[in-house]
Amino acid sequence: MLLIEEEMQVAPHDSGRHFPGDKTESSVSVLHVKHARKENIEMSINKNNKMLRKAGVLLLVLGIIFSMGSAAFAAQTDLDWTSVPNLTTYNTPFNQVVKQGEVGYAQFRIQAADSNYMPLLFPSADYPNALSYRWYHQGEEGYYSQETTSEIISAYPSGYVAKYGVRLRPNVDIGANVLSIMSPAGGYLDLGLIVNPESAQPDANVNIRIYHDNVSPDKLLKSETRNVNYQAFRSNVNYPTAMDSAATTAQITDFTGGETVNAYIKSMKVNNVEYVGGVNYKYWMYGVYDSDGNLKPISSKVGGEAYMVEDGDTIVWLYGTWGSLPSNIS
């Protein structure tokens, strides 16, 4: 078949008729065909070589990225957290108050802590880099991760601290926002960014229960349904809080943190009996429950003067050991 094609001549006007005999034009035609085929093959080979080179570069880059990611992951997972299992603040309070509508930035600094919560600096930058975080908020409109920046800074005398910056927005709802920091070792730290309204908020009608040892009917010290005013415990917070509920139905005899959003009850007198924190490892703690009896998660993450109570809430104050508050009440 190839021989016939080589000996065929195409009519001058490409009539489609072919004449055997004249090999000159047919030879030229065949040479053109072969040359074209050769050029096409060479172009295809060059194109494939370019694609292969690009693919090789891409694979090399991906390999470097994956190896760096693997190295970083290995560096984080290989960290020894036994000497720094916990987290605490570094020269910043646990809770900070901002005015509703305020713009600008708030800042938290985090350092490590030992098993007794004694502060320690992170021994290397890999430790703060391995921390993760997320936000919780009381209102529908709160702060989110995309508004949070993290940075590693060196600290005196030698060590590292994690710094978190938060961009303040004017349209955030009043109440507690909680930045929860977690380490791969299970250590965690809850930091409150409290949005305080410009004007005083109305009283909240709530149920208040006070227990000792555990939350059971035979351990109930007091139970009331009361209107709680934001000034029952005097601080600069302009909404009724869980701390206000305690001051409404009992007598707070000692507290830490001053009259601020960082106040914690040390001792409280109920029915003329004083219950002092630290005796037999018992302390005052609180939880806020909804109408179905379920614990509102944020109430376990901020102090009593930071959490805003609302109509229908049940506030439980317990004098007992840590972890004694149930997740649900009847």
The most confident of 77-86, 139-148, 310-319, by mean pLDDT: 310-319
**Tokens 């709680």, located at residue:** 228
Euclidean distance between CA atoms 317 and 209, whole angstroms: 6
Q: What is the pLDDT of residues 18-57, one digit of tens each?
A: 333 343 333 334 334 444 444 554 555 455 555 545 555 4
CB 319 within 8 A of CB 273: no
* In a domain? residue 52: yes
Same domain membership, residue 171 and residue 237: no
* In a domain? residue 191: yes
Same domain membership, residue 211 and residue 297: yes
CB 254 within 8 A of CB 267: yes
Q: What is the pLDDT of residue 264?
A: 95
* In a domain? residue 315: yes
Region 195-207: what's the mean pLDDT? 97
CB 244 within 8 A of CB 218: no
Q: How many CB atoms lie within 10 A of CB 277?
A: 18
Q: What is the pLDDT of residue 78?
A: 80
**C-alpha closest to that of 310 among 178, 193, 207:** 207
DSSP label at residue 122: B
Q: Which residues contact 313 (CB under 8 A, 6 or more apart)?
A: 204, 206, 207, 288, 289, 290, 296
Q: Please give the structure tokens belonging to residue 66.
A: 């994956």
Same domain membership, residue 221 and residue 161: no
Q: Which range of residues forms the domain containing residue 66?
A: 22-77
Same domain membership, residue 125 and residue 46: no
Same domain membership, residue 37 and residue 140: no
Euclidean distance between CA atoms 282 and 325, whole angstroms: 12
**Tokens 């590292």, located at residue:** 160
Q: What is the pLDDT of residue 157?
A: 80
Euclidean distance between CA atoms 194 and 302, whole angstroms: 10
Q: What is the pLDDT of residue 155?
A: 84
Q: What share of the chain in percent tops pLDDT 90?
A: 70
* In a domain? residue 188: yes
Q: What is the pLDDT of residue 150?
A: 85
How many structural domains are present in the chain? Answer: 3
Euclidean distance between CA atoms 31 and 42, whole angstroms: 16
DSSP-assigned letters across all residues of 173-241: PSEEEEEEEE-TTS-EEEEEEEEE-SSPPPPEEEEEEEEESSSSGGGEEEEEEEEE-TTSS-SS--S-B
Same domain membership, residue 93 and residue 46: no
* In a domain? residue 106: yes
Q: Please give the structure tokens belonging to residue 92.
A: 């910043």
